[in-house]
Structure 1
Amino acid sequence: MTCVVTEFDCGHAGAILDTQLDDLCLRLATASSDGLVKLWNVENAEDPSLICDLAAHAGAVNQVSWAPVGTGAGALLVSAGADGRVFLWGPCQDLQRWQVVHEEDLSRHGEVTAVSWAPLGMGAAYACALSDGNISVTIHQGTVRSGETDVSHRWQSETFAVHKGKVNAVSWSTAVDPHKKGSLAGACLATAGEDGLRVWHIQEVHGRVREEELEHSELKEPVRDVAWKPWDGCGDVLAFAKGKQVGFLRHESDSSGWTLEQPVKLDEEVWKLEWQPMGSQLVATCGEKEYRSLLLKQQLCGKWDVIDVSGATA
């Protein structure tokens, strides 16, 4: 059974647009339409405490994403804003203060609608979804030392055209070639847009992606979110949010194409999806006037149970 541990007032002056826990469940980041990101210490989950406010965006913060533990990037958080800017945040020596360690101005592409860190095996890299139909992929290229103590980090960004209209979400495949660590070549991403769902293979760092053909007509309609299931050694699964349902695409290791499975139909509009580490559970954020989280848990027979956070069956 899934239950609510605590509820607390985040103190935002606008709607909360995204919340993200770090991999160790020690810190929570909340993003709001008021332009702020707030960091919380949730080591004691029943009594969260505010670490600090992160104020750099000139508009709503659409999404935040924590760097995976073990990337070598340390405790980093990336925020994506409606102002077209992306900020990478890291802690100061005083852990109650955080600073911008890297920033990008993507406002020429419109707003940054979503952001997602690449899997651990790829090094420190993240992708941003943009409102003009592009995605931007940024990877850490190393450090440069100037003087005896000053060290600057080098980040390289590439932009790829992936949709004809707004890109709503981007998600990475976690299956990574260990011989290509630190390189984007060979990476796979799924993107959700107003013209449907797409799967992409990055062939080179410099501007080349190959689209994998998806023949299903249902995938040409607007898709709000996509989440690539953590690799389990058997095959790939994409969960996507479309209207009041959660759809699933499966690609077995021994097959040549994707199979569209029976969707899970819900009573409310679905906005966000997030796989849990164990892989057989998916959290869906849905609602119209008020948001709520539903846990989708797959049985061995393939059927999905839908459970709300209070433990009642939806």
Structure 2
Amino acid sequence: MVSLESTVDTGHDEMIHDAAMDYYGRKLATCSSDRSVKIFEMSENGVQTLVADLKGHEGPVWQVGWANPKYGTILASCSYDRKVILWREDSPGRWNRLYEYTGHDSSVNSVSWAPHELGLALACGSSDGAISILTYIDSANNWKAEKIPNAHTIGCNAVSWAPYLFQQTERRFVSGGCDNLVKIWKYDHKESKWVEECKLEAHSDWVRDVAWAPSLGVNRSVIASCSQDRRVIIWSNDGGVGSTSWTPRTLNTFDDVVWHVSWSVSGNMLAVSGGDNKVTLWKETLDSQWVNISDVSKGQGASQSSGPAQTGTGPPLPVAAVGSS
């Protein structure tokens, strides 16, 4: 049973598109169609205090993401204005623009930080069909941008990095797009470029989000994807490092479009949100069955549920603050 712990009056003037907690759970970042990014300090007694209102985007801000604190207090945001902005807190409550990337020709829909063991690197997916990887080069004190052109026909909606494994030398991430495809990319050191490793086909409409689960063991990888076809699919690979054999399994077919999927830190629970305005939590049993253990509706506490989410109205709920690492 999951209960609604607290709500935050963000003060945004328009729809909120994403919310993300930092590594320590002490800061909350939100973004909105009002073009702003807001930072809240979270106290132990549940009180939230607005500490920064970041202005810099010229269109709706779709997503925010915190870098690992190893590199300082850095937040990435992406927007319809085709920009990615990296913000850094230089002193308590004082935020500055660290870097601005303008290399896309259309809306930037998703940003995802690489595992900190791979350095300070950010993947960005855009409606122009391309994916950019921004990497900080310490020796040059500058950012290097690499682009995968035409990664997804019509556009890329989501990106998510694979967890770091000591035995795995290649960098990998997964993407989802308007071509109904989920794709896995790896960095080819011989050719010094990103190449497509796998193309996963099972969805029948636009893939809206993808999430690579935290490490579940050396020989197992799991990816969740969701789509406008109202399905969430769990992709599993038990072949170990380098295996390209992925098995799809439909978690559930919902009553409305599914917008977001997000894993718990342990990787054994998945949060799902969609057009029914609910966040449902799913857990894998010992016999590899996925069960709905709880759901949370907007403005309500949790209710126990064993079936799919019910229909409803209202905008999609962000799940970053519910189930992400």
Deviation string for 1:228-269 (max 9, x for gaps)?
111122311110002322101111135651111233222332
**Cα pair 1:121 1:176 within 8 Å, conserved:** no
Contact 2:236 2:247 in 1 (8 A): yes
Give the count of matched residue pairs: 294
* The 10-residue stretch of structure 1 (12-21 or 252-261) with the greater mean CA deviation from structure 2: 252-261
1:77 correspondence with 2:75: yes
SS of the residue corresponding to residue 116 of structure 1 reads: strand
Unaligned runs of 5+ in 2: 297-301, 310-325
Matches within 5 A, 1:212-291: 212-214=197-199, 216=201, 218-219=202-203, 221-233=205-217, 234-242=219-227, 243-254=229-240, 257-288=245-276, 291=277
Instruction: Map 1:130-141 onto structure 2 (within 5 A).
Output: 130-141=126-137
Equivalents in 2 of 1:206, 1:69: separation in Å? 32
Pick closer, same or farther for the CA change 1:256–1:135 going to 2, 3 Å: closer
**Aligned residues of 1:160 and 1:207 also touching (Cα < 8 A):** no
Alignment correspondent of 1:150: none
Q: Is the 1:116–1:128 contact (alpha carbons within 8 Å) kept by the matching residues of 2?
A: yes
One-letter amino acid matched to 2:82:
G
1:106–1:112: 8 Å Cα contact kept in structure 2? no
Secondary structure in 1 matching 2:138: strand
Q: Counterparts of 2:304 and 2:194 in 1: how far apart (Å)?
A: 44
- Deviation, 1:159, is 0.5
Of 172, 177, 180, which residue of structure 2 is paired with 1:193? Answer: 177
Q: Which has the higher contact order (CA 8 A, sep 6+)?
A: 2
- Aligned match of 2:144: 156
Amino acid at match of 1:104: Y
Partners of 1:206 and 1:139 lie apart in 2 by 18
- Tell me if structure 1 keeps the 8 A contact 2:236–2:246: yes
Name which of 89, 93, 96 aligns with 2:93: 96
Which amino acid letter does the alignment assign opposite residue 89 of structure 1?
A: W
Q: Once structures 1 and 2 are overlaid, which stretch shifts more, 34-43 or 45-54?
A: 45-54
Q: CA deviation at 1:123?
A: 1.1
Matches within 5 A, 1:28-107: 28-44=28-44, 46-70=46-70, 73-93=71-91, 95-107=92-104
- The 3-state SS of whatever aligns with 2:117 is helix
> Aligned residue for 1:147?
none
Matched AA of 1:117:
W
261-270 vs 111-120, which deviates more? 261-270
Name the amino acid aligned to 2:172: C
- State the TM-score, normalizing by the size of structure 2: 0.85
- Per-residue deviation, 1:57: 0.3
Post-superposition shift, 1:96?
1.6
Which consecutive unaligned segments of at least 5 residues does structure 1 have? Answer: 145-152, 181-185
Structure 2 CA distance for aligned equivalents of residues 135 and 176 of structure 1: 23
**CA apart distance, 1:133:** 0.7
